[in-house]
Structure 1
Amino acid sequence: MADYATSIQIDAPPTVVFAHLVVPARMVAWMGHRAILDAVPGGEFCVDIGGSQVRGQYLEVEPDRRVVVSWGMAGSEDLPPSASRVEFVLTPVAGGTRVDLSHTGLPEARAAGHADGWAHFLTRLSMRAAGDDPGPDTWSS
């Protein structure tokens, strides 16, 4: 199994960044085309991204501080729904929020693709949370 971790600074307060992780309309403004989100432990986490159906659950939700979800793909044998774990830690910093992301439990064959995807989507999250429009998402899995 592989793990991925990265950080990004976003020019928006933690409350705004947090909303982009738990509110469906805000989620699809930076990632995916459709989202069903129930941001409570055990609640549904479903995001359709460029032809992939990400399926999982919210595992931990600490408003404005931390979100942990299980993550997998509907119909996948090597990364089925809820097979891996994604954690977002939000830390207030001068001028905004540092987001530390870790994605653990990825199959080795999917690690590079997810690293590319997170680089793409975190850039879009940074733009959207800061009030800019990143435009239509062109990600394709």
Structure 2
Amino acid sequence: MPDFRTSIEIEAAPDVVFDYLVTPGGVTAWMGEFAVLEPRPGGRFDVDIAGFPIRGEYLEVDPPRRVVVSWGIAGSDDLPPGASTVSFELTAIGSGTRVDLTHSGLPDARVPGHRAGWAHFLPRLRGAGTGHPPGIDDWRPLPPPR
């Protein structure tokens, strides 16, 4: 199970970007339709994304530098709740914040779909973080592997 890594730069301070990872209004501004979040180690990370119930928990919360959550899909056999890990590393840079994302523990068959998902959602995070809400999201993921 290889790690999937990517990064983006956002013209906003790390504390602004951090709020988009730990508040229901922040998360649903760029990813998901509904969220129940308890941003503390062991707290809930429940986000419904494109009809998929993503379930996990916060593993690390270090404002405004790092957020790590467990990640999985309720009802999934190959990626059950908490089966993988997503880390967001926030680093202050001259123009704002670099966000380094690592998604670990994905089954090989799930990597392409999550790669496509992160390629869709991270630019939405950039827009939200810079005060340009990305609007309604009608994106749908690749079909799950059979």
TM-score of the pair, normalised by structure 2: 0.95
Question: Contact 1:49/1:139 (CA < 8 Å) preserved in 2?
Answer: no
Taking the aligned partners of 1:135 and 1:88, their CA distance within structure 2 comes to 23
SS at match of 1:21: helix
Instruction: Give identity over the alignment, percent.
Output: 59
CA RMSD of aligned residues (A): 0.6
Matched, 1:122 2:141: no
After TM superposition, give the deviation of residue 135 of structure 1 in Å. Answer: 1.3
Matched, 1:136 2:139: no
Taking the aligned partners of 1:35 and 1:55, their CA distance within structure 2 comes to 10
> Number of paired residues?
141
After TM superposition, give the deviation of residue 95 of structure 1 in Å. Answer: 1.3
Match of 2:25 in 1: 25
After TM superposition, give the deviation of residue 2 of structure 1 in Å. Answer: 2.9
1:29-44 aligned at under 5 Å gives the runs 29-44=29-44
Match of 1:71 in 2: 71
Greater Cα shift, 130-139 or 18-27: 130-139
TM-score of the pair, normalised by structure 1: 0.98
Taking the aligned partners of 1:136 and 1:69, their CA distance within structure 2 comes to 25
Matched, 1:99 2:128: no
SS at match of 1:106: coil
Which ranges of structure 2 fall in alignment gaps of 5 or more residues?
A: 142-146
Match of 1:88 in 2: 88
More strand by share: 1
Amino acid aligned to 2:76: S
Q: After the TM superposition, which parts of structure 1 deviate over 6 Å for at least 4 consecutive aligned residues?
A: none
